[in-house]
Amino acid sequence: MLVSVVVPIYNMEKFIAKTVACLRSQICGVGQELEFLLINDGSTDRTMEIIQEQNIDQDSRFRLVTTENQGYGNACNLGFRIASGDYVSIYEPDDLIADDFYSTLMDYALKFPEADLLRYRGVFKISDNTRESLYSWDPEITNRILEADAHPRFWKSHTSVFNGMYRRDFITRSRIQFCDTPKASYQDVTFMVSLYYAKPRILVIDDVKYSYVNHPLQSIKGAPERLRLVFQNWMKEKKWLCEQGVEDFSFFNYRMVKQYRAILSVNPEIDRDMAMRAVRRLLNNRCMRRFPPISTLKEKLSWSYFSLKARRFRRGARRRPG
């Protein structure tokens, strides 16, 4: 069994040496193989120089591809296209994984060959030399196949597209890809929306082996400048769903509104009028009175209130003179 690990890289000079060392330390059992696809997305710092210093050409598992800077989503899509593995996975170069992260995934893939998506039940968050557990699932729903609609918690937790692996033929057959908007405009969220509508068979492993490293360079800090790109990202996702013949946009509406609310809550300096206009344009009105099966009563009320404000905002703007 071969797993292709896609590593999207942009200006990671502070982390890339540790990234290569972490991947090099990955162990494999009998019949297990790994390939590491380092996608250098036009880095302008010392990232490439440091990669060359790691002598990855002496390790046949590594493949380095350099492109012009086109953003996180495009880098992931390129990695998926050139991958040759039975499964594909994404590894964020500023994070850390256990040495048996992929070998354990492959062990479970052999036990549950029908699984389209395998992931661990949570992640660790490392911040200021402290570690805490995030998004941990109850063990009772782990280590067995879950149908996509069976457990809402899967779609409510952090997207963490990097915390597992995907059957490559499922991704190809379902035509799932990342939105290719520039930079890192939260494309992981829309990727999970695409997964939801593809209805994968899910296996959650009762273990935690991924450490998400919190640091000041992450994309949430630049959210005000990226609001336009976030809008483009959701517009692309909406177009893709229409092309797939999707009629129930309730989950799309739910995740999109939830993300805009999150962006506004942590960025008080953001242009709220621009955000509300964007939400109104993105909402699919045919599904305004529908809620995805994952939403609680509290979420339905807050979602409806925010959506109503967005719709009334633009109507009010039209009545303004001049």
What is the chain's length? 322
The reply to whether 97 and 226 lie within a common domain is no
CATH code for position 160? 3.90.550.10
Decide which of 188 and 307 is more confident. 188
User: pLDDT tens digit string along 87-102?
Assistant: 999 999 999 999 999 9
Model pLDDT, residue 281:
83
Phi, psi angle pair for 17, to nearest 5°: -65, -40
Lowest mean pLDDT among 16-20, 178-182, 311-315: 311-315
The reply to whether 58 and 176 lie within a common domain is yes
Q: Name which of 6, 11, 2, 90 is nearest 46 in CA terms.
A: 11
**Spatial separation of the C-alpha atoms in residues 16 and 36, rounded to whole Å:** 13
Domain boundary among 196, 215, 234: 215
End-to-end CA distance of the chain: 65
Instruction: Judge residue 285's burial from the number of C-beta atoms within 10 Å of its C-beta, 0-12 exposed, 13-18 middle, 19 or more buried.
Output: exposed
Domain boundary among 215, 231, 247: 215
The reply to whether 146 and 160 lie within a common domain is yes
Model pLDDT, residue 319:
41
The reply to whether 203 and 249 lie within a common domain is no
The reply to whether 144 and 247 lie within a common domain is no
Percent of the chain with pLDDT over 70: 84
Q: Name which of 116, 129, 123, 117 is nearest 97 in CA terms.
A: 123
The reply to whether 24 and 88 lie within a common domain is yes
The reply to whether 48 and 28 lie within a common domain is yes
Model pLDDT, residue 280:
81
**Spatial separation of the C-alpha atoms in residues 233 and 310, rounded to whole Å:** 19
Model pLDDT, residue 37:
98
CB atoms < 10 A from the CB of 12, how many?
24
The reply to whether 68 and 160 lie within a common domain is yes
The reply to whether 35 and 131 lie within a common domain is yes
Number of folded domains that form the chain: 2
Q: Is the separation of the CB atoms in 235 and 282 below 8 Å?
A: yes
Q: Inter-axis angle of helices 223-243 and 250-266, to 10 degrees? A: 180
Model pLDDT, residue 294:
62
| Contacts for 238 with CB less than 8 Å, ≥ 6 apart | 249, 252, 282, 284
Q: Name which of 173, 180, 166, 146 is nearest 76 in CA terms.
A: 180
Q: Which pLDDT band holds residue 321 (cuts at 50, 70, 90)? A: very low
| Contacts for 207 with CB less than 8 Å, ≥ 6 apart | 104, 120, 121
Q: Which pLDDT band holds residue 7 (cuts at 50, 70, 90)? A: very high
Which residue segment(s) compose the domain that 258 sits in? 220-318
Model pLDDT, residue 198:
94
User: pLDDT tens digit string along 219-266?
Assistant: 544 556 678 888 889 999 999 999 999 988 888 888 888 888 888 887
The reply to whether 265 and 200 lie within a common domain is no
Q: Which pLDDT band holds residue 167 (cuts at 50, 70, 90)? A: very high
User: pLDDT tens digit string along 45-91?
Assistant: 999 999 999 999 999 999 999 999 999 999 999 999 999 999 999 99
Domain boundary among 188, 215, 242: 215
Asked if residue 316 has pLDDT above 60, the reply is: no
The reply to whether 57 and 157 lie within a common domain is yes
Model pLDDT, residue 320:
41
Phi, psi angle pair for 25, to nearest 5°: -80, -5
Q: Is the separation of the CB atoms in 87 and 168 below 8 Å?
A: yes
Lowest mean pLDDT among 22-36, 93-107, 243-257, 273-287: 273-287
Q: What is the mean pLDDT of residues 114-135?
A: 86
Decide which of 230 and 287 is more confident. 230
> Could you tell me the two tokens for 148?
């996509």
Provide the H-helix boundaries in the chain. 16-24, 47-53, 72-82, 101-111, 153-156, 168-173, 187-198, 223-243, 250-266, 272-282, 297-318
The reply to whether 70 and 197 lie within a common domain is yes
User: pLDDT tens digit string along 191-219?
Assistant: 999 999 999 999 999 999 999 887 666 55
Percent of the chain with pLDDT over 90: 54
Q: Is the separation of the CB atoms in 123 and 116 below 8 Å?
A: no
Please name every residue paired with 64 in a beta bridge, in sequence order, or none if there are none. 38
CB atoms < 10 A from the CB of 95, how many?
20
Q: Inter-axis angle of helices 223-243 and 187-198, to 10 degrees? A: 20
Asked if residue 144 has pLDDT above 80, the reply is: yes
Model pLDDT, residue 106:
98
